[in-house]
Amino acid sequence: MKFSVVGTGFISPRHIEAINYVGGEIVDVVNDFRDPEAWKRVVRRKEPDCIVILTPNDLHYEIAVESMKAGKMILCEKPLAIDSVHVKNLMRGWGIFTVLQLRHHPIAKKLKKEIKEDKKYEITMSISVHRDEKYYESWKGNRKRSGGILFNLGIHYFDMLLHLFGPALETEVKHSSDKLVIGEIRGKNYECEWKVSTMADRDKQRRVFKINGEEYNFSSKDNLSYENLHREVYKDLLEGKGTEPKDVLEVTLLIEKLNELSKK
C-alpha cells in the first residue's frame, strides 16, 4: 500500500516507522505549517492509496473530507474530529480509520475478555502526564485547535472506558482548568472517578485504571506513542479494518459534553 503523510510533527516518526514495519511505501510527506496548501495537492495525486492525517486536530475533518472525495483510504490520528457532527458526516464514507492504539494494548485485550456485563465495577481512572510550557505555547494549548486536553490526551482513556465497560449514562465535572480536569462517569454497571492531568513530574507519569481495587498501568512512558502500538494499527489497516467513525461517535459526544460541563 502507498501512503502520503500530511503533517510532520512529534507523532510523524511513529507513523513512518510503522509504515516501514508493515512494508508500506511512502510517496509523500508534507509539512502543513510550511505550506498550508500542500495537502490539497497530495490528496489529488494518483499514487497514494491512503492519506495519513497528522495535522493539528482542527484540520482533521477538512483533510479527511477532501481525501474521501478523492477516493483515498484515510488514517487519521486521534481525535478523528473535535465536533460530533463532523464524525457523523464521516460515517457516510468508506475506508476511514482513526488511531486509538490503546485498544491494541495487551492490558486492554485482557480486560476486554474478563469484564462481565452482569458484574458491578468501581473504577478510578488516573491519567497523569508531564507536558511543559512549550506544549501549551503550541497549537495543543489552543482549545479551539486541539479541543482541550480531554480531546487531545483524554480521548484515549475515555475511549478505553467505553470500549471496556459500555456507554456513559451520567457525567459530572468537578474541577476544570487547562491542565487538570476531574469528574465522574456512571454507566449501567460501573462508576468511574476520573482525572486527566498534565502536571505530573516527568519521572512520575502514570496512566492507570484501578478496577475493583486492582491497578492496571497502561504506560509510565513520556508519551503513549512509545508503546509501539501504531504497528498494530497499520497491520489492521492493510486488512481493511480498524477503528471507524461509527466507533468513535460515542466518545466524541462524551467529551463534547464534558467540555460543556467544564464551562459551568
Q: Are 7 and 93 in a shared domain?
A: yes
> Would you state the pLDDT for residue 38?
87
Q: Are 59 and 187 in a shared domain?
A: no
Grid cell locating 235:
497491520
Q: Are 111 and 188 in a shared domain?
A: yes
Q: Are 74 and 113 in a shared domain?
A: no
Q: Are 158 and 197 in a shared domain?
A: yes
3-state SS assignment for residue 212: coil
Grid cell locating 171:
457525567
Domain CATH for 156: 3.30.360.10
Distance CA 116, CA 119 (A): 5
pLDDT tens by residue, 156-165: 999 999 999 9
Distance CA 248, CA 79 (A): 9
pLDDT band (50, 70, 90) for residue 227 = confident
Domain CATH for 41: 3.40.50.720
Distance CA 85, CA 105 (A): 29
Q: Are 118 and 87 in a shared domain?
A: no
Number of structural domains the chain divides into: 2
Grid cell locating 120:
458491578
Domain range for 257: 102-222+250-262
Distance CA 198, CA 130 (A): 5
pLDDT band (50, 70, 90) for residue 42 = very high
pLDDT tens by residue, 141-191: 999 999 999 999 999 999 999 999 999 999 999 999 999 999 999 999 999
Q: Are 18 and 74 in a shared domain?
A: yes
